[in-house]
Structure 1
Amino acid sequence: MFVPLKGAWALVLGVSSGMGKETARALAEAGCNVIGVHFDLAEGREQAERFAKELTGLGVEAHFFNRNVAAKSARAELVPVIAELTSGTGPRIVLHSVAYGTLTSLLSSETGEGVTPAQLTMTVEVMGHSLVHWTQDLLRAGLLARGAKIYAMTSAGGTRVLSGYAPVSAAKAVLESHVRHLAVELAPRGVAVNAIRAGTTVTPALRKIPGNERLVAHCEAINPGGRLTRPEDVADAIVTLSCTDSPWLTGNVIGVDGGEALVV
């Protein structure tokens, strides 16, 4: 059954760029209030503040917080704020779109020394385990009601080998595993959990991947849709999937790529 999003709340982790930003915009256009968490320095922080004002111009509430999404202190501070803003009902939609980690190889080579234990641990913690930590804290606070949707952004790199992507690839594999287990554990509560696997999309995170120009050119040439995936494509999919109270679509890795994974 179709359920309008007007007046609902969304929590977007990683709201200031890429998939998180465009999904926040699409949700706001659908009438959803947005709580955004991002981690930016001076210029990025100012851009995020302008974006929050842009969303309020659409007639919804938008509250952004510049915090380290993976820090326990950030959750301790913000979960009570989320409870207050949502009048104790919690967010209907939670999007984990966190792209912060180390891009390097596992082993030393002519171009680098290989990943350090600290880099590997940080990348998996931020991009993988933080989904579990946020879900735990929201659940403990009674902020995951029946019908809520949790989405985590993954990529084809979670199952493929891309040069210089090894730590992030490990984090995405961990993230997808967490999605499956969370889906099963939250099923009795009527909360759906899915991973969204976007096709190759030109975002700030992609531009940091070594050799991304070759990857972009290759995927653009082979995509059956004749173009790369755009953040707006992902946003449209999340809005569409969120317009139902049914928890029956859960535990999946959903491709939003125009068929790219079928021919890559």
Structure 2
Amino acid sequence: MKFDSGYWAIIIGASSGFGLATAKKLASHGMNLCLVHRDRRGAMKNIQPAFDEIAATGAQMLTFNLDALSPEGRAKALDGLAENLGESGSVRLLMHSLAFGNLKLLAPYEASGEPARARARMADLLGVMPQAVDEAAAGLFGEGCPPIHSLADEAEFNNRFLLEEDDFSRTIHAMGTSLVEWVQDVFNRKMFAADARVLSLTSEGNAVAWRGYAAVSAAKAALESVSRAIAVEFAPYGIRCNVVQPGVTDTPAFRAIPGNRQIEAKALLRNPMGRLTTPQDVANLIFLLCLDEASWINGSLIPVDGGERIA
């Protein structure tokens, strides 16, 4: 299946994780791409091969390494896209995949010490040295054995710096309300297709309290709220807006979350499919939502997690 040759996707946060996987998937089906990202020059040696792979599909591709949260950065990217749309080009998809949030704690955290006490008790019952049980638990957990997570050392958190008002405001704008600015600018420039899609990404952390995730959780709640508003207010103009909720996925953004290994282990244990979600799983859903047949889906939060949320 190939998309109309005049269709473009704007992907904000396109150099890794869900954004990059989606870019690869859409390009393989003929979607032209405007990829917006912000990475240091030193990181580009690892990113550029993926961009070269996308370019090899034959789809048109523009890349902008800039601050997507600033009016100047947004204008530069859209000006560049406007020069390449031509008379028949239009934006079929605007995808918001920014992972720029603060992961500080709300309050200092002291580990319970329960895993260490359990290991000591086990060593006593087995008649072995406690160090042997400590090393066995650490080794098994390090090798990816989810059931051992309750015996592994607890996650470490930084108690020196706690969340402040500015941390919340920056995170909520970056990962939440900045979506509105992009939608309004693309709309005002009359760049959207007659049947356009706006998609963004949330997580289970929108409703479950992960330690150190408070600011991002607030941003996800804001993102979901403004997405519903976009779905209602822009619907008369042919714009559908939905939010995708992946299951726990091993991405660079997820690895930055404090305690991510424990979150991952618990997700593996409860997922009916017995594995984590992958960026490709999410890209496949986004591809489906870009099809003509998905035009009646609007204002929804769509899980893509193999049933993880219900198990």
Which stretch shows the higher mean deviation, 119-128 or 86-95?
Answer: 86-95
Q: Select the residue among 191, 198, 214 that pairs with 1:166.
A: 214
Structure 1 residues 161 and 56, CA gap change in structure 2 (3 angstroms)? same
Equivalent residues of 1:199, 1:229 under 8 A apart = yes
1:5 aligns with one of 3, 20, 27: 3
| 2:195 corresponds to | 147
- Describe the SS at the equivalent of 2:309: helix
Q: Does 1:84 align with 2:83?
A: yes
Structure 1 residue aligned with 2:115: none
State the alpha-carbon separation in 2 of the partners of residues 60 and 213 from structure 1: 37
Could you give the per-residue CA deviations for residues 180-205 of structure 1, whole angstroms, max 9, x where no partner exists? 00000111111110000000000001
Q: Which moved more, 1:175-184 or 1:110-119?
A: 110-119
User: What's the counterpart of residue 240 of structure 1?
Assistant: 288
In the alignment, the residues of structure 1 paired with residue 47 and residue 241 of structure 2 have an alpha-carbon distance, to the nearest angstrom, of 27
Matched, 1:50 2:46: no
- Tell me what 1:117 maps to: 165
Deviation at 1:142, TM superposition (A): 0.4
2:20 alignment counterpart: 21
Query: Cα offset for 1:31?
Result: 1.1
Q: CA deviation at 1:241?
A: 1.4
Please tell me whether residue 229 in structure 1 is matched to residue 277 in structure 2.
Answer: yes
CA contact (8 A) 1:92 1:144 kept: yes
- Structure 1: unaligned runs, 5 residues or longer: none
Per-residue CA distance 1:165-191 (angstroms, 9 max, x = gap) = 000000000000011000001111111
TM-score by length of 2: 0.80
| Secondary structure class of the residue paired with 1:101 | coil
**What do you get for the CA RMSD once the two structures are aligned?**
1.5
**Structure 1 residue 240: deviation in Å?**
1.1
Specify the code of the residue in structure 2 equivalent to 1:215.
I
1:253 alignment partner in structure 2: 301
| Distance in 1 between residues matched to 2:107 and 2:249, nearest whole Å | 27
Specify every segment of 5 or more residues in structure 2 that has no aligned partner in the other structure, as ranges. 111-158
Aligned-pair CA distance for 1:68: 1.0
Q: What secondary structure is seen at the aligned counterpart in 2 of 1:255?
A: strand
How high is the sequence identity, in percent, across the aligned residues? 37
Q: After the TM superposition, which segments of 4 or more aligned residues of structure 1 sit over 4 Å from their partners?
A: none
**Cα distance in 2, alignment partners of residues 71 and 245 from structure 1:** 35
Figure out how many residues of one structure are paired with residues of the other and give that number.
261
Alpha-carbon distance between aligned partners in 2 of 1:115 and 1:109, rounded to the nearest angstrom = 13
Query: For residues 107 and 211 of structure 2, what CA distance do their matches in structure 1 show?
Result: 12
TM-score calculated relative to the size of structure 1: 0.94
Cα deviations by residue, 1:62-82 (Å, 9 ceiling, x for unpaired): 111101111111112121222
Question: How do 1:79-228 residues align onto structure 2 when only pairs under 5 Å count?
Answer: 79-87=78-86, 89-108=89-108, 111-228=159-276
Contact 2:195 2:238 in 1 (8 A): yes
Could you say which residue in structure 2 is the equivalent of 1:30?
Answer: 29
**Preserved contact between residue 2 and residue 31 of structure 2 (Cα < 8 Å):** no
